[in-house]
Amino acid sequence: MNFQAPTMKISDLACNTGEWLRGTGPESDIVISSRIRLARNVARFPFLSRANLKQKKEVEAVVRDRIRESDIAPDLCYINLSEISSIDRLFLVERHLISREHAVGESERGVAFGKTEAISLMVNEEDHLRIQVIHSGFELREAWKTIDEVDNKLEKKLSYAYNSRFGYLTACPTNVGTGMRASVMLHLPALGMTHHIEKVFNAVMKLGLVVRGLYGEGTQVSGDLYQISNQFTLGKSELEIIEIIESVIPRITTYERMARKAIVAESREQLEDRVWRSYGMLKVARLISSEEIMHLLSQVRMGVNLGIINDIEMKTLNELFILTLPGHLQKLEGRELDSTQRNVIRADYVRKRLGK
């Protein structure tokens, strides 16, 4: 298997999105996506926090070559992050193909991903290798099946740092064991509107799960989008971690649907007014900030799911959450933009997209 040319234009991706945003799969009215990530390190090298520049460069070359040899996907391409612009790296972060930490790193590092963006492999992030699989809807087990196959192929080519007592050894102690983070991205506007969101998440955290924003650790919640994931990996198998999350998510989706029904029953006119005002703003506004558009899209998405609005596809709304972010707008324009310019172009882009 050969990588596609590393000189590929990231701008070619700017008008499309990965399959995880297609708005299909189980519980897709509430569950945007399911993601599993595995942290792995190569046995004969020190962790990146203790490695020198020569060792980091060697790790990048070794892991990159083994990915190439592993026949993971027929259309896999590899990008060296040190050779692209900061806007390109921001674009890849917004796309969930790399992390924020990976984007701002200083050593040799890269990312491989396929055409559908369901699989990505980060080289020299916090660990030597981070494998990620992301699916649309509530499909953790399907994501696990895919990532397990990828991991097995790579383990035939790479000698992982592994301890018979502790499991896979990782740079961060909370990842030791399976090295796995399983997460589900949820859209929960009604629980926020009825002020029950904190109660639900307090119950979630008692089970050893954590709640984060759209881009994981350290990010603020926007657009009523939340990520729920396991906090620790040591002492539990991969399937046990998945089972814990699978036991929680249906309860949350049930609470969200109950909250939506309660709002419709108690204040339908106010709800419809909120939804249609948001839709109207998206269709006519000339300036929209990043924060405002997340709120407007959240309201409209709920309106579509409740049957208030019928002329927008869920895929379109899911994509707009990503395509209107700063990195994507700058890639679409092919230049750096200040915040005011982005607000103008964002509003223009949404008007045109909804006008179709």
Q: What is the pTM of this model?
A: 0.91
Residues 22-32 have a mean pLDDT of 94
Amino acid at 28: S
pLDDT number for residue 239: 95
Residues 6+ apart with CB under 8 A from 65: none
Q: Report how many domains make up the chain.
A: 1
pLDDT band at 71 (very low <50, low <70, confident <90, very high): confident
What's the length of the chain?
A: 356
* Average pLDDT across the chain, whole number: 92
Q: Residue 12: what pLDDT?
A: 73
Give the three-state DSSP class for 308.
Answer: coil
Q: What percent of the chain has pLDDT over 90?
A: 82
Token pair for 348: 């223009």
Enumerate helices (H) and strands (E) in the chain, giving the number of each: 11, 10
In a domain, 247, yes or no: no
What domain range includes position 272?
Answer: 267-355
Does 75 score more than 50 pLDDT?
yes
> Rg of the Cα trace of the chain?
21
In the chain, the amino acid numbered 88 is D
CA 234 centroid distance within chain? 23
* Tally of CB atoms within 10 A around 1: 12
Asked whether residue 280 is assigned to any structural domain, the reply reads: yes
pLDDT at residue 13 in the model? 81
- The pLDDT score that the predictor gives to residue 306 is 96
CA distances from 109 to 115, 159, 180 (A): 20, 19, 21
Q: For residue range 184-204, what is the model confidence (pLDDT) as tens digits?
A: 999 999 999 999 999 988 988
Query: Mind listing the pLDDT tens digit for each residue in 325-347?
Result: 999 999 989 899 999 999 999 99
pLDDT of residue 1: 41
Is 53 contained in some domain?
A: no
Q: What is the mean pLDDT of residues 124-128?
A: 97
Q: What is the DSSP string of 56-75?
A: HHHHHHHHHHHHHHTT--TT
Closest CA to 281 of 267, 295, 269, 271: 295
Considering only the C-alpha atoms of the chain, give the largest distance between any 2 of them, rounded to a whole number of Å.
64
Distance CA 180, CA 159 (A): 18
pLDDT-derived band at 5, boundaries 50, 70, 90: very low
Q: Tell whether 84 is covered by a domain.
A: no
pLDDT on residue 8: 52
* Residue type for position 304: V
The answer to whether residues 136 and 20 touch, using CB atoms and an 8 Å cutoff, is: yes
Place of tokens 């895929």: 315
Higher pLDDT, 301 or 207: 301
> How do residues 289-315 score in pLDDT, each as one tens digit?
999 999 999 999 999 999 999 999 999
What does the H/E/C string look like for the chain? CCCECCCCCHHHHCCCCCHHHCCCCCCCCCEEEEEEEEEECECCCCCHHHCCHHHHHHHHHHHHHHHHHCCCCCCCEEEEHHHCCHHHHHHHHHCCCCCHHHHHCCCCCEEEECCCCCEEEEECCCCCEEEEEEEECCCHHHHHHHHHHHHHHHHCCCCECEECCCEECCCCHHHCECCEEEEEEEECHHHHHCCCHHHHHHHHHCCCEEEEECCECCCCCECCEEEEEECCCCCCCHHHHHHHHHHHHHHHHHHHHHHHHHHHHHHHHHHHHHHHHHHHHHHHCCCCCHHHHHHHHHHHHHHHHCCCCCCCCHHHHHHHHHHCCHHHHHHHHCCCCCHHHHHHHHHHHHHHHHHC
Residue 273 lies in a domain: yes
- Asked whether residue 186 is assigned to any structural domain, the reply reads no
Instruction: Give the pLDDT band (50/70/90) at residue 155.
Output: very high
122: in domain: no
Closest of 20, 54, 236, 45 to residue 129, by C-alpha:
45
| pLDDT band for position 3 (cuts 50, 70, 90) | low
Asked whether residue 154 is domain-assigned, the answer is: no
- How does pLDDT run across 313-327, given as a tens digit for each residue? 999 999 999 999 999
pLDDT band at residue 356 under the 50/70/90 scheme = confident
The encoded tokens of residue 314 equal 């869920």
Give the C-alpha separation, 50 to 197, whole Å: 41
> What confidence tens digit (pLDDT) does each residue in 223-282 have?
899 999 998 888 889 999 999 999 999 999 999 999 999 999 999 999 999 999 999 999
